[in-house]
Amino acid sequence: MPSENPWPIVIVCAMVVVGLLIAWSQQKRGWLLIATIIPIIVAALAIVRDVMVITDREQLQMNVRDMVGAFQNRDLEKTHSYISNSAPDIKLLVAAAYNLVRLGPDTRVTDIRVEKTSIADRAMTTFRVNSTLQVVPHSTSAYHPTMWEAKWEREPSGWKMIDIQQCDPITGKREPIPSEWRRMLNTMYPQNP
């Protein structure tokens, strides 16, 4: 499993280099100086690997940030690209929210937690979105902290959202509002079997 943090390896390699340099300064043996190259190469490889390998956790964190950014930039098509085609009710929910609110320029996505589930190729993210929300028909705006719990599934095209639920930002308990919207939207726009 790829590591998400190369720094423990880099620190250990740095300590080995320091130890080898101290030994070389006392003994003046050439092989000690040459041996310092090995931990330097190992540390460099650890950093390169960290940059090149994107773990599932990092990919899901990027998906959350990019999806919120697309919603903020009013790009519904890109926002929908993060949602599975097997979850049309979520796409309807996002489209309804897109028509009702706009996120302000102060939007921040924080506290992204990723948890792999016991079902293969499934994960859950919990994250906060803090922003000034503008209600479109009324042009009123207010700062509004939110917390969300999203379920994801790995598909051939990457990780896609299959469910989302708003949570109370203080207690973390699920709030019923999106479920009510979901039922209303499914009534208004029934899915063809």
pTM (2 d.p.) = 0.74
Is the CB of residue 94 less than 8 Å from the CB of residue 190? no
The pLDDT value recorded for residue 51 is 83
More confident residue, 82 or 178: 82
- Mean pLDDT in residue range 168-176: 85
Alpha carbon distance 87, 167 (integer Å): 20
Q: Where are the domains positioned within the chain?
A: 7-52, 56-188
pLDDT single digits (tens) 99-152 = 888 999 999 999 999 998 888 899 999 999 999 988 877 777 888 899 999 999
Does residue 181 surpass a pLDDT of 50? yes
Which two structure tokens, joined as six digits, stand for 154? 């790995």
Does residue 18 surpass a pLDDT of 90? yes
pLDDT single digits (tens) 29-87 = 989 989 999 999 999 999 988 888 888 999 999 999 999 999 999 999 999 999 999 99
pLDDT-based confidence at 185, cuts 50/70/90?
low
- DSSP reduced 3-state for 42: helix
Nearest to 166 by CA among 90, 86, 115, 57: 90
Which residues are within 8 A (CB) of 47 and not within 5 positions of it... i.e. 6 or more apart? 6, 10
CATH number of 56-188: 3.10.450.50
Portion of the chain with pLDDT greater than 90, in percent: 56
